[in-house]
Structure 1
Amino acid sequence: MKLIILDRDGVINHDSDDYIKSVDEWMPIEGSIEAIARLNKAGWTIAVATNQSGIARGYYDLNMLDAMHDKLRQLVASEGGQIGLIAYCPHGPDDGCDCRKPNTGLLKQIADYYQVSLTGKWFVGDSATDLALAERMACQPVLVKTGKGLRTLSKGVNPNVLIFEDLVAVTDYLLS
């Protein structure tokens, strides 16, 4: 199975230090929706692994998160693609859950759902926690410079991390 795992905020949609709290605030990064559809049309399954602590913080509820994900799915469908499983952590940083990245719960959900090993599967993120999780699960860590990517890159990354401008560049590489 050709599976790619994407972080959401900063990879697919614009991120904000004030959190993405509504459907109106959920705005795709230029080219990301089309990139997902292109991957999907080329036989890739796209899963999403995202921390959503805004729920625990009371900034939005599960219905709003579902509405944001519905918008994502509809936009990708309008380009002829589809998003697979969206695994999310609704907990805050001090809740002690096993799903908040860089803990492994979200990726274990994805592995269980698809009944695959994640060894070598690409995990695209924009933060140090994304990269740490990818390495913990033996995924290929991929950093995009969108979102918090440049900030992450400025602090240094391991030499095994692949670095791309954005999700479009990742897609171009994978489909070339």
Structure 2
Amino acid sequence: MSIAGSDKGAGTRPAAVFLDRDGTLIEDRGHLREPSQVVFFPRAVQALAALQRRFRLFIVTNQSGVAGGMVAMTEVRRVNRHVVDTLHASGVTLAEVYVCPHHRDDGCACIKPNSYFPQKAAREHGIDLSRSYSVGDHPCDVELGTRFGGQGLYVLTGHGRKHRSELPDGTVIVEDLQSAADWILSHRPADDGRE
């Protein structure tokens, strides 16, 4: 799924925030098949609205249920389209939605924490990965940021509390996506805007 942004920024390449979907942006309710199953976390849309003033926004989601036969790729795309359309109706634009449909033991290049999709975004959208962030509720979401040369943040929504003990020392841990947005915007240099 491709939802291309229009502005390139001036002078410097834009930075990005790579967002996990389930457990970070929307409630993790298992393998979602229908748009009616999508529930956005409180404040998530507001968080993205704040972030998009200075970052391109991407979703990077592992959907191993496709490989396991628990959900069809057409269903994943339908749910993703609903997420994109709902955000768009609220004034939030996603540059791209990237989906890995493989099992972790398949040895694919695209499953998180591999940096396949952020590298793809760098090539196709001109993203400066060194100034970019990843946000999610699994340790692999944090490691994703490290692997592409940016920074990962860990949210305590979704599976966040369950896997907190698996995080390396020094991990930035925040309550939810709004808290992640606040942290990112407060730690980014004031002269590092994308305008």
TM-score normalised according to structure 2 size: 0.80
Further displaced range: 148-157 or 53-62:
148-157
Query: 1:71 and 2:86 equivalent?
Result: no
Give 1:38's aligned residue.
Answer: 50
**Larger Rg, first or second structure (1 or 2):** 2
Give 2:63's aligned residue.
Answer: 52
Give 2:192's aligned residue.
Answer: none
C-alpha deviation, 1:70, in angstroms: 1.3
C-alpha deviation, 1:6, in angstroms: 0.7
C-alpha deviation, 1:175, in angstroms: 4.2
Residue type of the alignment partner of 1:29: F
Give 1:158's aligned residue.
Answer: 169
Structure 1 residues without counterparts, runs of 5 or longer: none
Provide Cα deviations, 1:82-115, integer angstroms capped at 9, x if missing partner: 1111111011122221001122222222222212
Distance 2:144 2:167 in 1: 16
TM-score normalised according to structure 1 size: 0.88
CA-based RMSD = 1.8
C-alpha deviation, 1:53, in angstroms: 1.0
Provide Cα deviations, 1:5-61, integer angstroms capped at 9, x if missing partner: 111111101114x43333222221112123212322x23210111111111111222
Give 1:3's aligned residue.
Answer: 16
Q: Percent identity over the alignment?
A: 28
Q: Decide whether the 8 Å contact of 2:15 with 2:131 is kept in 1.
A: no
Distance 2:122 2:177 in 1: 22
Aligned partner of residue 94 in structure 1, secondary structure = helix
Residue type of the alignment partner of 1:21: R
Q: Decide whether the 8 Å contact of 2:63 with 2:101 is kept in 1.
A: yes
Provide Cα deviations, 1:114-140, integer angstroms capped at 9, x if missing partner: 123312311111111112222122221
Aligned partner of residue 98 in structure 2, secondary structure = strand
Residue type of the alignment partner of 2:50: R
Distance 2:167 2:18 in 1: 22
